[in-house]
Amino acid sequence: MRLILNLIWLVLCGFWMAIGYVIAGIICCVLIITIPFGLASFRIANYALWPFGRTIEPRVDAGAPSVIGNIIWIVFAGWWLAIGHIVTGIALCLTIIGIPLGIANFKMIPVSLVPLGARIVPVD
């Protein structure tokens, strides 16, 4: 079932979301000081391609720099991304077939809001 949901996700919205996150990651990596944000964008892009069967968990070794980075991320990009995921998730939940995809979109809100200090792991 995860394979089918991931394939539907990839076709309908995952590919485009991943492209957006990759473009943001490239821009962040070009600007040297924002490389940690670029790496976080690449991780989110990977998650946006194939979300079913994976989840987000906090890193226990993340410290104060990740908190400061997350505050900067929220101010400049995080809340825009979270709003985008909320709107897309609501739109996907309007149809029966789109409900699991909308829930997956809601599941991406925490990592798009505060990506530093989180990691994406398999559910199993």
> What tens digit of pLDDT does each residue of 86-104 get?
998 999 999 998 899 999 9
Q: Look at residues 110, 99, 124, 123 and name the one whose alpha carbon lies nearest to residue 51.
A: 123
**What is residue 86's predicted lDDT score, i.e. its pLDDT?**
93
3-state secondary structure of 121: strand
Domain that holds residue 53: 2-122
User: Cα 110 to chain center, whole Å?
Assistant: 8
User: Cα 73 to chain center, whole Å?
Assistant: 13
pLDDT in tens, 41-79: 999 999 999 999 898 888 888 788 888 989 998 988 889
Instruction: Record the pTM.
Output: 0.85
Number of domains in the chain: 1
